[in-house]
Amino acid sequence: MHATLIHGDHDIRFEEVPDPVLMMDDDAIVRVVAACVCGSDLWPYRGVTHANGRIGHEFVGIVESVGTAVAKVKVGDFVIAPFYVCDMTCVNCRNGFSTSCLQGSWWGGDDRRGHPSDGGQGELIRVPLADGTLAVVPGPVDDALIPHLLTLSDVMGTGHHAAVSAGVQPGDTVVVVGDGAVGLCAVLAASRLGASRVVAMSRHESRQAVAREFGATDIVEERGEDGIRRIREMFDGVGAQRVLECVGTEEAMTQATRSARPGGQVGYVGVPHLGPEVKLQPLFSRNVGIRGGVAPVRNYVAELLPEVLDGRLRPGAVFDLELPLSEVAAAYAAMDERRAIKVLLRP
């Protein structure tokens, strides 16, 4: 079979690799139906962080085989894999934070027993802890639903996490920093939770259009001090109640915390890859809270999947380019050069 490997800065290859085999009793093998490239995949692609080997962590597919200890997931099931492995039975999973699963691991890394894990951008994938990791979609699954379902493996759940972490309630005023797929899904999530105003900060016309489709009531193109001033002016001169930070840079976090009104709350899901620190004094003096992290998207499937299935929730518009999985290198390039918001890949 073939899978995607990263060999270095801007070096993505679709290569022949051995078919995966069941290694633990709780494993399943999944044949990928659709996968995609994540904004966070661009960090190693750009050489900001370093990675070598299998890559990708978002996919949906059909179960091909299961280990002897797998009880819930059946051969032939259509499944959504979150961007991590989790058992859904440990204390952290039960508390709603499966990204802190005590047995958890990451695609492309080592599983809990030290076996190397597959990456998500491949044809076949070995899934550890299959009964926890995989969410079964009741079939049959209409092909048109696939992009929407695929967002539940990361970006829609992550946008939802930003909104939940910021405490978005009906009637709240919300600002979203970041117009990537996660930022756009955060707009959709805030709107879904009943926000009265949702401001998308974006200067890209195509992304603004998706933001409006997802429920943005306002677009702000300014950034930095100008952006903060605009947001404060829009909301009583003091700022918004909730700000969703979906980038992960220090600039974006500063934009977010300073756009929140005194007593406001920032929900942040942008991976702080560059290790930003947050100064407490400016947060303390204005009582601005920050909350967020690696989104426990597996926990959110129960809430979001029914709405995707009945057509109320349609986050799939974040995919504005579809390519064969074999052209995965072109998908990375399109996202790197911001020619695409997010690329869907089909084997």
Residues between 275 and 314 with contacts to a second copy, criterion CB under 8 A: 275-281, 283-294, 296
Nearest residue (CB) to a second copy, 286 versus 346: 286
Q: Which of 8, 47, 263, 324 binds a second copy (CB under 8 A)?
A: 263
Q: Does 49 bind a second copy (CB under 8 A)?
A: no
Helix (H, G, I), strand (E, B) or coil at 1: coil
User: Hey, is 100 helix, strand or coil?
Assistant: helix
Phi, psi of 102 (to 5 degrees): -70, -20
Contact between 212 and a second copy per CB under 8 A: no
Total residues contacting a second copy by CB under 8 A comes to 39
Q: Is 17 in the site for a second copy (CB under 8 A)?
A: no
Contact indicator for 290, 257 with CB cutoff of 8 Å: yes
Which residue, 199, 207, 217, is CA-closest to 182? Answer: 207
Residue 8 engages a second copy in binding (rule: CB under 8 A): no
Q: What are phi and psi of 296, to 5 degrees?
A: -80, 65
Q: Encoding tokens for residue 204?
A: 């890209």
Whole-angstrom distance, CA of residue 81 vs CA of residue 59? 6
Confirm or reject binding of residue 225 to a second copy (CB under 8 A).
no
Burial of 167: CB neighbours in 10 Å, binned 0-12, 13-18, 19+: middle
Q: Which of 100, 206, 208, 217 binds a second copy (CB under 8 A)?
A: 100
Q: Is position 217 an interface residue for a second copy (rule: CB under 8 A)? A: no
Look at residues 341, 250, 253 and name the one whose alpha carbon lies nearest to residue 290.
Answer: 253
CB of 289: closest distance to a second copy in angstroms?
Answer: 3
**d(C-alpha 2, C-alpha 345), whole Å:** 13
- CA 181 remoteness from chain centre: 8
Looking at the Cβ atoms of 268 and 319, the one nearer to a second copy is 268
Cβ distance to a second copy smaller for residue 57 or 261: 261
The CB-of-92 to a second copy minimum distance in angstroms stands at 5
Q: Across the beta sheet with 2-8, what order do the strands follow?
A: 11-16, 2-8, 53-54
Kindly write out the interface string for residues 76-95 of this chain, putting x where it contacts a second copy by CB under 8 A and - elsewhere.
Answer: ---------------xx--x
Residue (53 or 167) nearer to a second copy, CB = 167
Contact 15, 5 (CB under 8 A): yes
Quick check: 234 binds a second copy (CB under 8 A)?
no
- Is 61 a binder of a second copy (CB under 8 A)? no
Binding to a second copy in span 141-170, by CB under 8 A: 165
Terminal C-alpha separation, the chain = 11
Pick one of 76, 140, 170, 237: the residue that binds a second copy (CB under 8 A): 237
Which residue number, 68 or 95, has a Cβ lying nearer to a second copy?
A: 95
Contact residues for a second copy, defined by CB under 8 A: 91-92, 95-97, 99-100, 165, 236-238, 253, 261-263, 265, 268, 271-272, 275-281, 283-294, 296
